[in-house]
Each structure stands twice: as C-alpha cells, then as structure tokens.
Copies of this chain bind each other. A is one copy, B any other.
Amino acid sequence: MVGNGIEAFGLRDDAAVLDVPGGALVLSVDSVVEGVHVDLSVCTPGDVGWKALMGALSDLAAMGASPLGALVALCVPGGSGQGEVALGVMGGVAEASTATGCPVVGGDVSAAGEVVVAVTVVGTVEGDGAAVSRSGASAGDALLVTGPCGGAAAGLRELRAGAGSGDAYRRPVARLREGEAARRAGAHAMIDVSDGLALDLHRLADASGLGFVLDDVPVAPGAPLDEGLGGGEDYELLIVVSEDEAPELTDRFTVAALRRPIPIGLFTEDRGVRTLGGRVLDRLGWQHRLG
C-alpha cells in the first residue's frame, strides 16, 4: 500500500485497536477482487468467500485477538449468473464462519463489474491482555513460524496446470488459536504471512527497526524455495519472543494441541543485516502496486 491515501490515517498494524468501555476492540478489513487477488478460472465462488473471510481473520490472528463477528460487502457482476455467484460466495463465507466460530453479523450486496468481497472483522483480546503489534521486537529475540510456507502458491500453480486439489490455495486457514496462544505466551510482535514470508518478515523487522539472521525456513511440500519465501496467502504467523520465552511458547502450543512453532532465526541490532543462510534476503512477495 504505497501512496494510496490510507497511510494518511496512520494505519500500520495488521489490525486496528480501538479502546471501548469494557476493553479493546481489534478491527480489520480485507478485500478480495476477481482478477487481482483471485482467479475464478481455478477456484469457485465458494472458495472466494472462504478466502475473503479467512484473510480478514488472519489479521486478527496476527494480533492475538479472537473474532466476535464479520461484516461482508459483496459486489457481483450483473447478468444471468449473478444470484448464483452471490449465493456461492456467501456459502463459502458461511463455511469459513462455521470453521472459525466467527458469526457473520452484517452484509451488503451490490452490482459491479467484477466480484469484490470486502470483509471487515471485529475481535477482542480476552482478559486484560493487550493485542500484539508488529513492533515490539528487540535485538536477540527469537523468530518462529507456525508452519511451512509456500503451500498456497504451489497449490495455485498446480491448479493453473490442471493438477492437484489446490486446497492450500483455495481453503487457507487463519491461525487464530495459534495467535492467541502466542499472545498468552508473551509474544513481543507478530505478523501473518499474507504476502510472502520474506516480504512480511522485512515488514516485521522494519516495524522494530531491526535486522535478522535466518538459519533456514520451512517450505511446504511441493513448493520450491522461491514459493516458500515469496508465496502469499499461507497465513502462517511469524512470532517474536525472547529466547527465554520460547520454551513457554512451545509448551502452550503443545497443551493446545497445536503444531509446534518452528524456530527460524534471530533479530539483530543492525537493520542492514537481513540474511538467510548467510545471503541477503530480498523482499520477495506480493507487492501492492497502487499509486
């Protein structure tokens, strides 16, 4: 998001935090546009609805927040299939709603030239905890990821080649429970891998003014390293904790029957040092090109 007017409002985290009587709300909006974010030749309207809600929920996961509800603004092109597409998208939204326990509490439907699904999610941080921001990391902190990356990119490539189910691409899952467990374990900072591990990690480092040294990164089966580093929409979480706290993080994940987070490296003082296996790591990933 470069030069698009949103920055004027000072929006930098995955989600906004709004103090209200009785606690804090965590809010985010995410759009899926046909031809920009999704290709309807390789996924169904139901997939689009699923991905739209999960993409928005992933922003809550990255703050350690639990969802309260979602609102869906849907645009669908006119013509004979309009009702069918609208119902398909909302069906996928409903499936993702059931899978995550996030109710759809509001909606709006319009005609437009292409399918656009804008999902707003509202969440909260239970108890007296605070939402986890992108900044807050310190030099020496450990960096972990909730799972291998690149699965969605590999799935899309396979779908385009007419091979494979592409489930990782069509039906990604927001790491809500993982985000909450990380927050409770005292995570210093988090971000979700929506645009690519490398790019989102650079953003995370930028937010705290740090560098990083990665040993290795876990790559999803079937994905080459460039998809593991640059493929978006996996929605794994990058979690930052002090080295001392890393065992508690792992314990909490184990108790919650979640996959054990994978240590990938450390943050460093010098923001000019950003390496993977000793080589400079480029900002690989999905770059918004507006403005």
Contacts and interface: CB of A to CB of B under 8 A. Distances in A.
A279 interface: no
B69 A29 contact: no
Contacts of A15: 106
B291 A83 contact: yes
Q: Copy number in this complex?
A: 2
A91 B27 contact: no
Contact of A122 (B82, B87, B122): B122
Contact of A27 (B23, B71, B87, B288): B71
A76 to B, nearest CB: 7
Contact of A108 (B113, B118, B289): B118
Interface in A31-48: 31, 33, 35-37
A18 interface: yes
A86 B290 contact: yes
Contact of A31 (B4, B21, B28, B110): B110
A268 interface: no
Contacts of A288: 109-110
Contacts of A159: none
Interface of A: 1, 3-6, 8-9, 11, 15-16, 18, 20-23, 25, 27-31, 33, 35-37, 68-69, 71-76, 82-83, 86-87, 89-91, 94, 104-114, 116, 118, 120, 122, 124, 288-291
